[in-house]
Chain A
Amino acid sequence: MSYIVKPKFHHPQLQKNDLGYTRRDYEGTLTTLCGGCGHDSISAAIIHAVHEMSLAPHQLAKVSGIGCSSKIPSYFLERSHGFNSVHGRMPSIATGANLANRELYYLGISGDGDTASIGLGQFCHIVRRRINMLYIVANNGTYGLTKGQLSATADLGSKTKSGEESRYDNIDLVSLAIDLGASFVARSFSGDKEQLVPLIQAGLSHRGFALIDVISPCVTFNNTPLSAHGYKNTWENNVVLSEIDFVPMRKEITARYSAGKDKEITLHDGSVIHLHKTGSGHDPGNRENALLHVNEHKKQGKIATGLLYINQDQSDFHELADTVNKPFNRLNEHDLCPGGEVLADINETFM
């Protein structure tokens, strides 16, 4: 951990977004994670993504559980809302917050332990309930905070620094989420911000539950040549199934995109995802195909990344539950106590 405060000086030509903020304005406190931790790159990617989208910090809420991963909301967006919850219980908090205020952007940060072990039950249900949020898993295949035991996402045969080999097949969060009905599922690599940043932007803009499983190497405990989640293995075996560019709503679409080669996906809020053909033949609109492709690559020891599945038309929790369309904090006395006539009408229905 570093002892100094990151200097405030920045590049004089650092770009300002529509709100007049530079990227540095979206930072948090200096990281206390090990140097080289993939999670820091995820923080940096989130800062890039949110700055580029010109989101005001108060429009976003960060929620997390416990673990190295769940510490990182301290290191970005220090002026946003945040809740650091109990281990594996971030989905409950996110659900509650989302019910109370549907207008915020929700960014869940979790790890492989927090999501695939202690919080697996909660994870399954938040996917199933289609809560409108972006859920990022910083996935390093190890329990770094407790000194490097294998986690439930460690690949079969992968070895930790102490030489322990994973004897069980891993829980593949991407397949699980697609299976449970998530409408936006992607995988990426902390070392590849060009891929990760637009995925985060698309995930935040997507209406419904979005998951990005980010391979995020643990340099201290799980970065040996035999670690499936290490930098070397991920660089070498990363197969990009789809490349996307993200154009936030209100931004002019530049002529770079040719209709024949790229596919445009317009999200609910008007932003657009440009899907470039990669030669993989992967169609993120096809759920069964997505599952098949992910599994095929896994069998070959490859890591399929990119936008794997998207259904931009799926209804989210609020639609299904027919909730009130205002945040609770904006409901006034009249909304909450509509008066005797309405009560009479309700009573009438029981007669």
Chain B
Amino acid sequence: MKPTDISDPDYFHKVVDCQWACPAHTPVPEYIRLIAGKRYTDAYMINWESNVFPGILGRTCDRPCEPACRRGRVEEQPVAICRLKRVAADYKSDIKDRLPGVPKRKNGRHIALVGAGPASLTVARDLLPLGYEITVFDRDAAAGGAMRTQIPRFRLPVEVLEEELNYVLHMGVDRRFGTEITSMKELLAEGFDAVFVGTGAPLGKTLDLPGFAEAKPNIHTGIEWLANVAFEHIDSIGETVIVLGGGNTAMDCCRSSKRLGGEDVKVVVRSGFDEMKASPWEIEDAMNEDIPILNFCVPKRYLLKDGKLCGMEFEKVRREYDGNGRRLLIPTGEEPLVLPCDDVLCAIGQDNAFPWIERDLGIEFDRWELPVLDKTTFQSTHEKVFFGGDAALGPDNIITAVAHGHAAALSIHLLCEGRDVKDRPADLTTLASQKMGIHQWSYDNDISNDVRYIVPHAAKEKTLNDINIEVELGFDEDLGYAETQRCLNCDVQTVFTTRSCIECDACVDICPTDCITFTANGEEGELRQRLLAPAENEEQDIYVSDTLGTGRIMAKNEDLCLHCGLCAERCPTAAWDMQKYLFNTAKAVNA
């Protein structure tokens, strides 16, 4: 193998698994250390710069960081990153004086944002401090998009939502809420310097089965129903409810139903329980509220009584795989399952829809009716039109929408400056030694052996009776601190200097997870097999040094490194050093 090029900004970034997995690349270990030091406001601001909605995301994020967390590879459970983010939001002090200033004198550029969801508001946040004028359009009367309409209040209190929306809106956004844009052509004709489309994926699906026409009044589209609940247009549901679908929307639908009068609420999924798309913790929360989830049941018909929905019939199936490894659902031949119900909520997916964008404007769409985009710049085939969030690449999550927003804001800024949108500034990185004394580091390398702490919940009797009562209480300061101590500080990198090494084996002997081997060089596949402990996780790199005095190389398996710094503490020549790698994505302000 060639010596590892640690000057490649991706190399150490990849080692910080959580940050690498986060679409917005939030510097997670950095803010976790600040929480441990009770510097909640500082921790919050690191988040705010990176993901704009820390309090919202600390409750609702899809947490791509957690499955990636290294802690999950050395013990059972990852660090509760998401809920620590909430700790920062819950215990911070007033941040208003830390928000970026917005110049009174504008730069003469005017940008239209369609949709007031996370993607658009991120664009606004990034561009307002640079002097842009921003007009935000939304068909709803209030900002927030899916964060307001799709996430029930018992998961995200309205005060938290509005606080974080207002940080952006109060920066001086021109709001045009409550009016739907019906023509892109007209919008472009208004002379905006750029238009950003962040309209989400607003099209819910229903299931057209026999009996649909008659049963229709009691069949609801999950996302529309949730939006109506959020705006308090709906405040009740039948006693017996069937929720179709296994995603997070289904979980929100069933739990909301339970709070609006649903006594007997069931979730029914076509495939296996283990194939459900919902986040494991959402499923767990639903089951904790005594909502059964029935799997391998394919909906067949709506059952009617007196011309009104009274139940549903399901075919029971089992799972098999064909020769190509494709999953098949084969009817078992058992009696069909009949479930009575007063209402059905269909949470079986959602689609993008752009009926308001005329197809002769130079904005191309692909065969799935998604806009043709550059995946880095989020520019469409029309120079001035950008897309982000669910509207860009199909339904995903809030944090992805935020990441799109940052990228699009940067593109818009480059465009307005007359620069090439593809010539983007480099991301911001620093790498600095954390050595304080002979065996002292600026970070706490004595990590805790504790297993993941559970976030306390409010009493079920209380929460099930009021849809506005938040279920999760969040960590208190003590629990939050204890959880921070599980973080392995993966951003504090083990940096190796070949010429200083005397090959004494001290690092090899001390390493708790057998990461380091001194051996003859070889091809990666073969080298992985003959390290001190096998390095089978190929997603994780092997850090290889230059040739050493004895002709061998140092090979370190990044996979299981605890970043405990013992290699550097035992190293007599400081050939190993612990250096903090701080990575921030380049945003509009850096261009």
Contacts and interface: CB of A to CB of B under 8 A. Distances in A.
B partners with A: yes
Contacts of A135: none
B73 A12 contact: yes
A67 interface: no
A4 B504 contact: no
B534 A13 contact: yes
A35 B505 contact: no
Nearest to A38: B504
A4 B441 CA distance: 11
A256 interface: no
A220 B502 CA distance: 13
B569 A219 contact: no
B533 A223 contact: no
A9 B74 contact: yes
A11 B513 contact: yes
Interface residues of B, number: 34
A37 B505 CA distance: 9
B550 interface: yes
Contact of B447 (A7, A37, A41): A7
A2 B533 contact: no
A24 B513 CA distance: 10
Interface string A218-236: 0110010000000110010
A320 to B, nearest CB: 39
Nearest to B75: A9
B439 A235 contact: no
A221 to B, nearest CB: 12
Contact of B569 (A35, A37, A44): A35
A35 B572 contact: yes
Interface stretch (B145-153, B398-406, B408-416, B560-568): B560-568
A65 to B, nearest CB: 23
Nearest to B444: A4
A147 interface: no
Contact of B564 (A4, A43, A232): A4
B446 interface: yes
B438 to A, nearest CB: 9
B504 A2 contact: no
Interface centre among B447, B509, B533, B570 (most CB of A within 10 A): B509
B447 A235 contact: no
Given A11-B513, A193-B505, A235-B503, A2 B573 contact: no
A217 B502 CA distance: 11
Nearest to A42: B509
Given A7-B447, A9-B74, A14-B533, A35 B513 contact: no
B566 A235 contact: no
B510 interface: yes
A13 B533 contact: yes
B439 A6 contact: no
B566 A36 contact: no
Contacts of B572: 34-36, 219-220
Interface residues on A, range: 35 or more
Between B504, B512, B564, the greatest number of chain A beta carbons within 10 A of the residue's beta carbon is seen for B504
Nearest to B439: A2
Contacts of B514: 10-11, 14
A86 to B, nearest CB: 29
B550 A235 contact: yes
Contact of B439 (A3, A12, A24, A217): A3
B502 A232 contact: yes
Nearest to A44: B509
B562 A9 contact: yes
A346 interface: no
B55 to A, nearest CB: 32
Contacts of B570: 2, 31, 35-36, 40
Nearest to B575: A36
A5 interface: yes
A84 B536 CA distance: 42
Nearest to B534: A13
A164 B505 CA distance: 27
Nearest to B568: A35
Contacts of A337: none
A193 B74 CA distance: 26
A330 interface: no
B449 interface: yes
The residue in A35, A40, A41, A193 that gathers the most chain B C-beta atoms within 10 A of its C-beta is A35
Contacts of B513: 9-11
B506 A12 contact: no
B571 A12 contact: no
Contacts of A219: 502, 504, 572
Interface in B7-66: none
Contacts of B573: 36
Interface in B415-445: 439-440, 445
B506 A37 contact: yes
B549 interface: yes
A1 interface: yes
Contacts of A220: 572
A16 to B, nearest CB: 13
B496 to A, nearest CB: 15
Interface in B434-469: 439-440, 445-447, 449
A337 B202 CA distance: 96
Interface string A305-326: 0000000000000000000000
B389 to A, nearest CB: 38
A73 to B, nearest CB: 16
Nearest to A15: B533
B170 to A, nearest CB: 46
Given A12-B74, A13-B534, A231-B503, 5 more contacts: A2-B570, A4-B445, A12-B73, A191-B505, A219-B572
9 contacts: A2-B569, A2-B570, A5-B446, A6-B566, A7-B512, A35-B570, A36-B570, A37-B504, A40-B510
Interface of A: 1-14, 24, 31, 34-38, 40-41, 43-44, 190-191, 193, 217, 219-220, 223, 231-232, 235
The 5 closest A-B pairs by CB, nearest first: A36-B572, A44-B509, A35-B570, A36-B504, A4-B446
